[in-house]
Every structure is written in structure tokens, then in C-alpha cells.
Structure 1
Amino acid sequence: MKASQPSAPRLRVWQSWRGLGAWNYYFLLKFVLLWQGYLNFDALSNLIFAAVLLFPLPSLRVHRWRQWIALPFGLALLYHDTWLPGWRSIVSQGADVTGFSMGYLLELADRFINWQWIGVGFALLVGYLFVSQWIRLTTFTVAALLWVNLSFLVTPFFASKPVTAAVQPTVTAQPVAASGTDNKVNGPPTDANLSAYLEQFYQNESRRTVRFPDALPADAQPFDLLVINICSLAWADLDAVNLSTSPLWSRFDYVFSNFNSATAYSGPASIRLLRASCGQPSHHNLYQSAGQQCYLFDDLARLGFTSQLAMDHTGEFGNYIGNLRDDADMKSPLMSQAGLGHELTSFDGSPIFNDGQLFTRWLENQEKAGTARTATFFNLIPLHDGNRYVGSNKSADYRSRATTLLNNLNTFMDQLEKSGRKVMLVVVPEHGAALVGDKMQISGLRDIPSPGITHIPVGVKFFGMQAPHSASPMKIDAPSSYLAIAEMVSRAVDGKVFTSPSMDWKTFSANLPQTPLVSENENAVVMEYQGKVYIRLNGGGWVPYPS
């Protein structure tokens, strides 16, 4: 009878350490991305995840099960650590995405593939497989995770105490001050201070308003106000396609060189523009009712201006026209688009009508109307990402579309000059196209309102004046936003600038309202504080915007 074989000694829990194995590569890749500024690294969550993977399990089978079960959690944590849109943003934009054409969806998917980083990932994988033959990498991974967590904890611990924002009592709205930068928060950029600064900004803005006169004087001169709101046009886009020095910009009387659109999406941008008579509200309050004095076109309507609405698209995508009706109080009927040609098709398959023909139709309508006071809101989208020429499935080249649009505007300005009509033209893009991506977003993605997207060119031009124009446009370099436009309109509302034999261009634009850089989408806030830009995603903590 054979003697029974002695059983293998049973390992105790604290003797069952097995290391991170292939998860070392996962963390190595994250460290490299963090070092390059491509991650919004959640240090504590990653440390906890590593602890779960390291917790000793005597059973080798259970340990292997854990490795596989951890995969979806690891992928979710990786997504959480990226700058990609959060689930709230995906849900909120989901209905719009379903309207994209299949070709545009495939094009967007291709942009998410960064072949350079795929190559880096492969090189890191080879390096990991080679080094792991001789070195126990788990020790270095855990040490790095502990160091990152401690660095995040120690830095705020030694920072100065948060500065409490001085909350001023609510006061009756007064004529707008030149500057909106009287914020009392000026301590180090801690989470508390940055949040306090943002809250103080909103409080300051809630008290700012542009006062239009109760009535026009008897000698007021009728004129047309024409506001052209262009989708996807920022200084960064113009620089990318070498159009920032286009002759068009030299034709304006005023050019705002430091204007912030305050958002990266069309609906909110147009609503903010049409509510320009009051200070900048938060994204949430943008969709709450505002005082009647906040709606720029309502202010003008009370002074006898007839409101008009014109677009080169249907306005159906994203319920754009519905948002104008509900949240910007734009009740005017849409100018007829019947008979207009179209060379471009939108990213959702709908037609984009010829802007040159649209401008000509508007001018013909104005000439038929005579000298009545009008205020017209134009919205143009030929530069939107994913637009394509009729008959093509490929996105049209941005530069060619931008050149066509600028040429159409240039021709329209020629027509206005020849017509002799008194017109105040204000060109205000909605936001940029994000032609050049950054470490946070790929090209074309605008979930985060980065400065490159919200820094837009704004021009103001007067036609039909008796006074001579300056040889070159006057640049307004102060940080500005929509309140400055409303103020400029209010200064011209009596129309006397058109009949005066002389014009003091500098005095007319003096002491315009200034607005610090604060931009928002639904789940992201980007803000300048003490000369540096910070970002907060999904209500989390503030981090420096990666450069």
C-alpha cells in the first residue's frame, strides 16, 4: 500500500502576493499620458483600483477571474481619466448625434484614432515585455501611484487658506460700468478660491445691464441693424487656414481682438448674443427666464425697430430655431428661403442655402420697405464641421468654404455701400470650428469651450454715414463679450452717427464693458484666473488647462 503524497502547503492570505502582472503596462501607459498632459488623472481612484488588483487571494483561479473581471472597470477608469466627454454630455447630445450622416460619423470616428500614440503604445508594450523579464515592475508602479497621490495631497495642504468671496448686496441695476473685473477673490488658485471667483463673477454679471433710452428723440434717424451670427469661425481657425489677414477685416470700423463667445455650441451662443443687454449668466441660467430688458431685439422693438430673422439653413437640427423662440424671445418669422440655391449640404443632410443670394434677398426686401427701422438676426452655418458639397460624401475643405463666405461678406459690404442705406453691421461668430485640436480635444470636438474655440473675431461697420471712415479699423483689445455689443448698439440707436458730419471713433468706443474670460458648456467651465486658464469638468475639481 502506497503512502499518501503530502498535500501542498496551503498559502495564507498575506503570503499570496502576486503583483499587478500585465496591469503594470496599463498604469505605465497612463503615467506617460499624464506626463504629456493628455489625462485628467484621478489619482485616488487609480490607487484604489491598483489596491483591488493587488489584494492577495490564495486561490490562483480566483486571482485569474479577478484579472478578467477588472477589465471593464479598468477601461471605464481610463475613459474617466481622459478629457473625453462625460456620460452626461453624451446623453444630452445623443439625440443630436443620431441626426449626423453616416459619412460624418465615420469621419469623426477616424479622428479619434491617433496613430502616433498607437505607435507610442506599441513601443511601450515592447519595452514593458522586455524589462519585465528581469525587473519586478509592480514595486515601481505602486511607488509612482503613491507619489502622485501624495503630490496631489501635499500641494493644497501647503497652499494659503481659501479666500472667501465678498458677497455684495443686491442693488438696482445701474448704467453699465466699463469693467466687470471687480472680483474680490485674488488668492492662490485653490479649488475653493477658483469656485469662489466663478460665483463672484456670476454675481457681478447679474447686476450689469445696458440701458436703452425709453424713447428716441424727435430728430432720431432710422437705420438698419444687421447682426450676422456665423457658426464655427474663431481666430485660431483663421490662423490655421491663413485667412486672419483677409482684406475683409480691414473694412470694419471696429474689430474686437479679444472677444469671448462664452460657449462652444451654437444654441447657447446665439441665445447669449440675443440676450446681450444683460451680463453673462451661467449656462444653467441661460435657459431660465430673464428680465425683458435683457433681450437685445426686444429693447430695439420698444424703440420702433422691426425684428427680422434670416438663416441659411432650416434651423431644425438640435431644435435651434425653437431655442431662439423659447430662450431668446426671437418671435420674428423666418425670411423666405424659397428659390435660394445651395451648393453645400449640412452634416445632417439638410441643405445650406447660398449666403450671397440670401444677403441680396435681404437687401432687396429692405429697399422695398423704405426707411423703416429694422433689426435683423442672421445665422449662417457653411463653416460647420462635416458640411460637404452637394454630390460628395466627403467633408468640404474648410479653407475653401471660409474663403467663399468671406468673399460673400465682402461683396455684400460692396452692395451696402452702393445702396446708400444707413446700416450698422455687426459680425459675431457663434464659436470656433476647433480646426486645430489640443491635448484635451480632437479636431472638431467642442465639448470643452477652450480659449482657442471661444476667441472669436467680431467686427462692426457703419454704412451710409456722412462722416469719413478711418483709414484702418480701430482695434478693441480689452477682454470683451456680448455686453459690449449691446452697449455699442445703444450708443448708435438714435441714428445720429449716420448724419453727423464728423465722427470721433475713439470716443464712441471708449469705456465699453469688459468681461473676464469665463466660458461654459453644459458640463465644462473654462476660466482665466490670474493670467492662467483653468478648467472644471462635470462639477469636479479645478485643474490647469493643459498647454
Structure 2
Amino acid sequence: MVPPESEQKTPSIILFSELGVWNLYFLLKLYLFATHSINFHFLENIAFLLFIIAPFQTHFLYKLRQVVVIPMGISLLYYDSWLPSFDKLIIQIKNLASFDISYLFELSTRFFNFELVSAFFVVVVCYYYFKNWIKFTSITIGLFSYFLFMQYYQPEADTKTQIVRAQNTFNNTNTQSSNSPDEHLQQFFSYEAKRKIGYDNVTMNQPFELLFLNVCSLSWDDLKHTGLDTHILFDKFDIMFQQFNTATSYSGPAAIRLLRASCGQRTHSQLYSPADNQCYLFNNLAKLGFGQNLLMNHDGKFDNFEQYIRKEGGWNVPNQLDPQSPLIQKSFDGSPIYSDRSLFDQWLAKTDSKPSATLYNTVSLHDGNKILGNQSRLNSLENFHPRLLTLLNDINYLFEKIEQSGRKVMVVLVPEHGAGIKGDNLQLAGMREFPSYNITHVPVGVKLFGMPKGKEQTLNVSSPTSYLAISKLVQQVVEKDMFGEPTSTLSAIINSLPTTEPVSENDSATVIRHNGTYQMKIGEEDWIQYGNDN
């Protein structure tokens, strides 16, 4: 932008000024948009561009523009990015204050993108070398026009809002056909509001123990990325849910959804309001005679995790963690993380003959954790593989010990969400702001120890499921007396489990599967296609 030499010398008619160095700003943003690294709000960006080249004819207006244009440009770039909304950012900054300094440094390094820095360098050099021969403002406006045309006139399958197509498909049996994602979502929640798993007429003949292994940060995508999807543990389950959706990418909401598993899926906001008494899974189990136990390998203080599961999950029993348990890791906020194997031994040592239902929650895989000892030099992305291998080995150890004990136990491995260890175009590795399919698609496995008939082969549940199927499975194991004199088979039970299509939410984003693709809505923005090939 070149200022007028004086108000008297300013021409009476000026079509537009040059963008000058602001060409770099728009060219870089258009490049990021073309590579799906940011969104691009055309109306707002066009308005900003016109503001920059507007033919102000007074020195005062020119100076005023010079003052406000930089903060406006920064704000617009943030608005176009996939970063959290400003109010959400304030909350995140409060959480960042509790992070360990080494984790903050690690996060900062993830923002460095060599490809992006290289592209920026090339654009800057080209601009300063050719600016006297090429009208870059014309190029910028031309690219604006091109992307705007492609945005609104290209067939939907090729629009620039398309991020990645997902390959998995399934028959939608739970909702009517809908014309738009919003209608689809409304029909889904209307249907889910009517669903409940009843326990009133169920009687437990043969007592057994229930152990829920609620693992933070483990998805199928994480397993495949590390090559640990072939771990021997997964051959030992009687049932594997291949298409289980956690409905969220954060721990608190995931734990609440598990604890309310006896009702259909509610909206994210409804998780923080009281639910019908029949919804609370562990309350239903208590009516059958199950005692309740809570065991966590952490203090549960970050983001008020323990407080939320008590208030919103109907949980009243204390954490039975033995503070003398050996430490294996230091959390991202510096708090201690205790050995899973040691806590499994603590659980195994309980010999109470009364049937019990235990929720075991572990954060051994959470992003930012540091391994104590020889591997302490590794950052949390580098040490994810050894941490995951240790956890899978510890669960395998637990299985061996239960088998040796002869106890009747139903173990349910149900991760809260994935780690997002690979990242994607919209999120850095380890970030879970958006509940993408690769984060909410988790391995849920069930093992029944002490059944009259031994394990033959793993039964795979290939239909889309969520927490309601877990509640129904537990109810059927009790009702069909699977640990006593079974009146059904596991195959018949899993064939009768309720399906739930993948709809996932956080407080700012929603991801659904609609018309064969995954689509996401951030706040009040338009829907965009968002998924990952599997």
C-alpha cells in the first residue's frame, strides 16, 4: 500500500491500490487452503483484501488502516485456521499453565512444518525478486477468483473443502434417510433418546467379576501406526468389536458415556445434565448384586476427571489406588503415573467372594507422558510405542494371572479414545480437538474367564457399535447365565447387540458419517468432509 503524497495530489478516481507485501499473506493462505491445512472464509478474506486496496484519499484514513490492518490480518488467519475458537483457547491456555515445561517445548516443536517454512521462503524470495516485473496483486486476485469458482461450481466430490475420504461403509439401520447432515444428526439423536437397556427383570444365577479396562489414548489407527495391532493379546479375546465408536475424543466425556452406557447416545451438552436412573450402568449392576470398585493409575485431578465421573457418571466409591505402588511415568502435568501391572496385582489380590464390577482407568498412553529411567530422554511421540507395548504386555500378564486363578471374570477392554499419534491435515500429532474417525474408532475386546466351555475362536462384531452394545452384552451374559448353565451362545448374543452409527462430538466440533463420507461441523460453520482412509 503506497500512501498518497498529499491530500491535494490524490487522484479523484482510483480503482485500487497495490497489495504490496500483503500479497505474501494471501498467497501463503491460498497455498495452505489448497493443501487443506487451513479453512478459507472467502467472504471475510475478500472484505479484508478490499479493505487493504481501498482508495483512501485522506492521510488520516491511510494511517488508521496501517494501524489496524496487521491485527486484523492475524485475527483472520487464526479464524481461518483449524485452531480452537478464542473462548476455547482461553480454557486451553489455563490448562497449558499446568503442563510440564518439557511438554510445552515438545508441543512447540510439533508446530514446525519444514514443508510450510520452505514454501514460505520460496514465496518471499520470488516476490522480492520479481515484484518489479510482475503485478502480484493481479495474481493474488486471479487466484482468489479461481478458488472461489472451484469452491462453488465444481462438483461436490471435488470441492476444496474435501479433506480426506473414508473408505469404510455400513448399512444405516438406525435412522431414516436424510437430505442434509443437520437433518441426519437430528434424526440420530431423536432415535437414540428412545433407546434403553433394561436390567429390571434380570437375575444373576452364577456370580462373577466384571473388570472394565478403560484405557486413555488407544485407537485402531494407533495400533496400526505402531505395528502393535498384531500383539498376541488380541488373539486372546472372545469378542472383538471392529467398528466401535467412542463418540468423543476426550477422556471425561468418554468415561461419562461408558458409565451411562445403558441408554442411547446423548448429545455432548446432555452429558452434563442428570440422566434417567436406568442409564447408569454401574447402578444397574449394583441392583444385580455387583459391588463397585474404582481403580486409577493417576490422581484424576487434571481437567477435573474424577470429579466429572463422580458427578455425571453416578459414581460414589473412592479410588482404591495404593500410593505405595511403583511409579513408571511422569504425566504431562508432572503428576505421577503408577505401574499398571502393580495395580493389576492389587486387583488380583482381592479375594472377596462377592461379585464386583471394577472400573480401571489408565493414562499410561496419554500424550506428553515421560517414561522414568533409561528412556526418559524420549519425547511422548517417540516413547508411545514402548509405552503401548508395556501396557499390552501388562494386560496380557493380567489375563494369564486370571486364567491361572480359575476365577470367573468378564474383562472388557474399552478405550476412551485414540491418541491421534499420526495426526492429519487438520490436527497435529497428539491433538484431539476434533473427534475424527481415526481417534474415535477404538479396539474393544471382551474376555470371559471361567466359562464352562473354553474359547474356540475370536468372534468379531463388524457392525457399527457404541456403549449401548456393551451394556446389552453385560446384561445378556448375566441373563443367559454364561458362567453357569448357559441358555445361549456367544454367537447368538453378539448377533442381537444394538448397532449405533458413528456420531462423535466435542464441545466445539461434530463428526458424522453421511452419504458415504465423514463430515465435520465446527461450531456454526458449514459441514466439511473429514476422515482418514483405513
TM-score norm. by structure 2 comes to 0.91
Q: Conserved in 2, the CA contact under 8 Å of 1:384 and 1:433?
A: yes
* 2:285 matches 1:300: yes
- Following superposition of structure 1 onto structure 2, how do residues 8-87 of structure 1 map, counting pairs within 5 Å? 10-15=9-14, 17-59=16-58, 62-63=61-62, 66-87=65-86
For 1:240 and 1:46, the matched residues in 2 are separated by 38
Query: 1:100 matched to which residue of 2?
Result: 99
Structure 1 pair 460/452, CA: closer, same or farther in 2 (3 Å)?
A: same
> 1:27: Cα distance to partner?
1.0
> 1:113: Cα distance to partner?
1.3
Most deviating of 517-526 and 144-153: 144-153
* 2:300 matches 1:290: no
For 2:146 and 2:195, the matched residues in 1 are separated by 46
Most deviating of 403-412 and 391-400: 391-400
Amino acid at match of 1:200: Q
> 1:216: Cα distance to partner?
1.1
For 1:225 and 1:71, the matched residues in 2 are separated by 59
Query: 1:269 matched to which residue of 2?
Result: 254
For 2:365 and 2:140, the matched residues in 1 are separated by 46
* 2:401 matches 1:415: yes
Q: Conserved in 2, the CA contact under 8 Å of 1:466 and 1:502?
A: no
Structure 1 pair 180/327, CA: closer, same or farther in 2 (3 Å)?
A: farther
* 2:117 matches 1:118: yes
> 1:130: Cα distance to partner?
3.0
> 1:363: Cα distance to partner?
1.4
Q: Conserved in 2, the CA contact under 8 Å of 1:222 and 1:494?
A: no
For 1:546 and 1:465, the matched residues in 2 are separated by 40
* 2:417 matches 1:431: yes
Q: Conserved in 1, the CA contact under 8 Å of 2:202 and 2:475?
A: no
Query: 2:447 matched to which residue of 1?
Result: 461
Per-residue displacement from partner, 1:402-436 (whole Å, max 9, x unpaired)?
A: 11111110010011111111111000011111110
Per-residue displacement from partner, 1:165-218 (whole Å, max 9, x unpaired)?
A: xxxxxxxxxxxxxx974323433xxxxx1111111111111111111233516x
For 2:310 and 2:531, the matched residues in 1 are separated by 38
Q: Conserved in 1, the CA contact under 8 Å of 2:518 and 2:529?
A: yes
- Secondary structure of the 1:498 match is coil
Q: Conserved in 2, the CA contact under 8 Å of 1:525 and 1:537?
A: yes
Q: Conserved in 2, the CA contact under 8 Å of 1:15 and 1:56?
A: yes
1:213 to 200, 219, 224: 200
- Following superposition of structure 1 onto structure 2, how do residues 114-193 of structure 1 map, counting pairs within 5 Å? 114-149=113-148, 151-153=150-152, 181-187=173-179, 193=180
For 1:505 and 1:302, the matched residues in 2 are separated by 24
- Following superposition of structure 1 onto structure 2, how do residues 109-508 of structure 1 map, counting pairs within 5 Å? 109-149=108-148, 151-153=150-152, 181-187=173-179, 193-216=180-203, 220-365=205-350, 367=351, 369-370=352-353, 372-390=354-372, 392=376, 394-396=378-380, 397-470=383-456, 472-494=457-479, 496-500=481-485, 504-508=489-493
Most deviating of 336-345 and 52-61: 52-61
* 2:520 matches 1:538: no
Amino acid at match of 1:213: D
Most deviating of 227-236 and 338-347: 338-347
For 1:156 and 1:55, the matched residues in 2 are separated by 34
- The total of aligned residue pairs comes to 510
Q: Conserved in 2, the CA contact under 8 Å of 1:209 and 1:279?
A: yes
What stretches of structure 2 of length at least 5 have no aligned partner? 1-5, 157-170
Structure 1 pair 315/385, CA: closer, same or farther in 2 (3 Å)?
A: same
Q: Conserved in 1, the CA contact under 8 Å of 2:211 and 2:359?
A: yes
Report the identity percentage. Answer: 38
Q: Conserved in 2, the CA contact under 8 Å of 1:488 and 1:509?
A: yes
Query: 2:167 matched to which residue of 1?
Result: none
> 1:491: Cα distance to partner?
0.2
> 1:74: Cα distance to partner?
0.6
Per-residue displacement from partner, 1:210-239 (whole Å, max 9, x unpaired)?
A: 11233516xx11011111100011111111
TM-score norm. by structure 1 comes to 0.89
For 1:9 and 1:94, the matched residues in 2 are separated by 50
- Give me the CA root mean square deviation: 2.3
For 1:466 and 1:96, the matched residues in 2 are separated by 50
Amino acid at match of 2:19: L
